[in-house]
Amino acid sequence: MVAAEYKREQILDWLSEVADPEIPVLTIMDLGIVREVDCSDGVTVSLTPTYSGCPATEAIEASVVAALEDRGVPDVRIRRVLSPPWTTDWISNEGREKLRIYGIAPPERRNRPIACPRCGSTSTARVSEFGSTACKASYKCLDCLEPFEYFKCL
């Protein structure tokens, strides 16, 4: 198959299998960081990093190239798109549910209380603004007493 014969939908389907290196239950499609796929001259995948200093950006770009090359796509290019900046609003509903099931509270807007991903209680307290990665904060549930991470709104 020549590069021009690849269909955007097929590339997007393959990209839906590329996991985020920091939260492996999420794919890059769940995160909403795939901005565009252009198959007019080879394959160019436009990605928006979750934030400008994200240490996973280069690993994600390499994973995209590897995933497509593994499927025989010969000429993969990555275009890093910084504007508009990524926002947690771009996380899909499926991605939010995957976070919750994995034990990470998904981002909440509108000053809603952070619900415990384990028991659902909104009686929670922030332990630290910083979690295992810069995009997460540490919380605890005051009902089930379990610690959990919250994916901060960006």
Looking at residue 139, what DSSP letter applies? E
Q: Per the structure block, which two tokens stand in for 84?
A: 């508009």
Look up the CATH number of the domain holding residue 69: 3.30.300.130
**79/18 same-domain check:** yes
Query: Which residues constitute the domain of residue 146?
Result: 92-151
**44/107 same-domain check:** no
Residue 34 has a pLDDT of 98
Domain count, the chain: 2
For residues 105 and 102, give the distance between their C-alpha atoms in angstroms, rounded to a whole number.
Answer: 9
**35/70 same-domain check:** yes
**E strand or H helix at 109:** none
Residue 141 has a pLDDT of 98
Ramachandran sector of residue 73 (left: φ over 0; alpha: ψ -120 to 50; beta: rest): beta
**70/106 same-domain check:** no
Task: For the chain, list residues with pLDDT below 70.
Answer: 1-4
**26/80 same-domain check:** yes
DSSP string, 70-89: HTT---EEEEE--SSPP-GG
Residue 101 has a pLDDT of 97
**99/73 same-domain check:** no
